[in-house]
Chains A and B, each alone.
Chain A
Amino acid sequence: MGWLKRVMDHDIFYSFTRSWVIMLAAFITLFIIITSVFAPWLTVHDPFNPSSLTLTDAFTPPIWVSGGQWTYPLGTDDQGRDILSTIMFGNRISLLVGFLSVLLAMLIGVTLGTLSGYIGGWLDSLIMRLADAQLTVPPILIALLINGVARASLMRELQESLVIYVLVFSIGIAAWPQYARVTRSGAMVERNKEYIAASRVIGVHPVAIMVRHIIPNVMGPTLVLATIGIPLAIIIEATLSFLGVGVPPTTPSLGTLIRIGNEFLFSGEWWITIFPALALVVLVLSVNLIGDWLRDTFNPKLR
């Protein structure tokens, strides 16, 4: 357990424990992740298995309103699905898509950024021009366009199973330029250092230099960018699902739940949309807080 002691002695851990807001945010995020991973075992029923629903339980209000039942702590929607369970299952999709798309964006961005920064020349100009062109268009629009085109061009049967991949792909493509830029500037700084020159002199292959030396040393700012990118990806996915062009209703995410609930907002069943909306805000806020704290902690100017 010596490593645990070393972690607790580190000044980053100290700054972590000083701020109760950050500790709360981290706890909430961990809680959400764990409940969403174990959702099938924790929930009353699987909300998206039609055979487990009882229609007579539809429109049950939450427990603190008269008419509520303890089996459905946050109420049910128009088909008898427990809102708490739908939120837990919805979290899964939101977290999955958010995480995977940032992974894809990092993969593309770090690769192109390292190539661009280390090799330079015309490749650098080309990649940077591409990144600049894409940065002028907001990521939501890009994700929307790619999604729209994919829908128009894929056949209906393929669509259902491929939707999540298309979604991850579109958000990943929308987000790669910033990772590329950060990696590129890091790579450009690294490539002038002596140990890289030494490696080149020995005869190490350029690809090996990039993978073994450059990338590990420029990953720092990229990871911080990722912690800010994950909530953004979750928001984009929720927005696309809300608009109807995201995940299909059979595997809904928080955005789809909000859309479904929106229709009942005026007829008085406010809980169907408000609780998923609050869940989304809490998730995004917590991850944002952690990302902000990480960025401030690792900022060399403030240390």
Chain B
Amino acid sequence: MFSYVLKRFLQSILVMLFVAFVCFVLSNYVGDPVNNMVGQEATIADRAALRQELGLNDPIVFQFGRFVNRAVKGDFGISYRQQRPVKVLLQERLPATLELVLISAILALSVGIPCGVYTGLHRDNWVSRVILSTSLVGVSLPTFVTGILLIYIFSVTFNVLPSYGRGTVVKAGFWTTGFLTATGWKALILPSVTLCLYQLTLILRIVRSEMLEVLRTDYIKFARARGLTNRAVHFGHALKNTLIPVITVTGLQVGSLVAFSIITETVFQWPGMGFLFIQAVLFADIPIMVAYMTLVALFFVIINLIVDLLYFVVDPRLRIERRVAG
């Protein structure tokens, strides 16, 4: 068990180093950092001096080491376009994205899993059919189309919900939260529904197909033959075994929520990291791109680690195999 954890941990560090290397190559060799930092009027002597001062003439290994050193401390340099330290920008934007992702994840899980279980158990119900058709449409709707449609219905036609911004936020230390104000919650509704829709339909379909598979197995037939009630069979036996692959998929989906948050934040002008990243891509602002990639990679690696460990804990078969093997 311990060796497994250690191995996964080392793997994660390797992945992070790889991502750091890609980011490093990007930040130093795509375009010229010196050109991007000084204006047009700087003389050649000035540029050479700046180059020396930034250490761009040192061997690559040294530069990479410095890059990693700084990155670990959170220092990613200064944004080309906004001329402010990237760290400060990230700090300002991170709470917004994290709150949005949290609410969307909770929504997707709390609606998706029950619906999936219901459609798995009652296959030919008309309610199931309605849910399934809606889910098919949900998979076909790109996130930004959902956002625009929701804005059109609730903001333009009925004018009940705000279509941009976060509402009033309360500052607590370095965190700004929208949870404590009414306008904050109102502003959160449309973006989180938009963001969670795609994940919800995916989770629903996966839970449903897993449920159908599990219900066909022999031990379920035997449990029924023994005379257990439907409730005991479904929730005592079937559901527990359904949840194992669902956990893995859910973990990965939380990761992809971060990716889709880019789109949602752009549609709703939500001041989060995704919005920052898109503007960085549009303006070739490399420091922000690098910082975002590193943060997202870190996020994914941590989630994958947690999911793997959770998988190990939840599935007793893995533990027995390990004990027998070692």
Contacts and interface: CB of A to CB of B under 8 A. Distances in A.
Nearest to B216: A301
Contacts, number: 105
Contacts of A148: 280-281, 284, 289
B152 A270 contact: yes
Contact of B30 (A145, A152, A277): A152
A277 B148 contact: yes
Contact of B136 (A136, A255, A289): A289
A148 B23 CA distance: 13
A137 B300 CA distance: 7
A172 interface: no
Interface stretch (A47-55, A74-82, A236-244): A236-244
27 contacts: A136-B255, A138-B259, A138-B260, A140-B262, A141-B256, A141-B296, A144-B259, A144-B262, A148-B281, A148-B284, A149-B26, A149-B30, A151-B284, A152-B289, A235-B140, A239-B143, A239-B263, A242-B266, A244-B278, A262-B148, A262-B267, A265-B156, A266-B156, A266-B163, A277-B149, A288-B136, A289-B136
By secondary structure, the B interface counts as helix
Contacts of A281: 137, 140-141, 145
A280 B293 CA distance: 30
A285 interface: yes
A239 B144 CA distance: 7
B65 interface: no
Given A238-B142, A262-B148, A285-B140, A153 B300 contact: no
A262 B262 CA distance: 17
Given A245-B281, A284-B142, A288-B140, A265 B30 contact: no
B148 A133 contact: no
A266 B278 CA distance: 23
Nearest to B303: A136
A145 B30 CA distance: 13
A270 to B, nearest CB: 6
Nearest to A151: B284
Interface in B248-279: 252, 255-256, 258-260, 262-263, 266-267, 278
B266 A265 contact: no
B255 A245 contact: no
Interface in A94-124: none
Given A243-B262, A270-B156, A258 B144 contact: yes
B31 interface: yes
Contacts of A280: 142, 145
Given A136-B300, A281-B145, A288-B139, 6 more contacts: A138-B260, A149-B26, A242-B266, A258-B145, A262-B267, A281-B140
A140 B152 CA distance: 25
B304 interface: yes
B282 interface: yes
Nearest to A145: B293
A284 B30 contact: no
Interface in A209-263: 231, 235, 238-239, 242-245, 255, 258, 262
Interface string A122-147: 00000000000100111011001101
A273 interface: yes
A161 to B, nearest CB: 19
Top 3 A-B pairs, shortest CB-CB distance = A148-B281, A138-B256, A152-B284
A233 B175 CA distance: 37
B187 interface: no
A258 B151 CA distance: 13
Contacts of A147: 281
B306 interface: no
A74 to B, nearest CB: 16
A141 B259 contact: yes
Contacts of B142: 235, 238-239, 242, 280, 284
A285 B286 CA distance: 37
Contacts of A140: 256, 259-260, 262-263
B26 to A, nearest CB: 6
A133 B252 CA distance: 12
Contacts of A133: 15
B114 to A, nearest CB: 23
A163 interface: no
Nearest to A152: B284
A289 B140 CA distance: 9
B30 A285 contact: no
Contact of A242 (B15, B140, B144): B144
Contact of B255 (A138, A262, A273): A138
Contact of A265 (B136, B152, B259, B284): B152
Nearest to A270: B152
B200 to A, nearest CB: 16
A242 B30 contact: no
B184 to A, nearest CB: 22
Nearest to A238: B142
A258 B278 contact: no
A270 B148 CA distance: 11
Contacts of B137: 281, 285
A244 B15 CA distance: 30
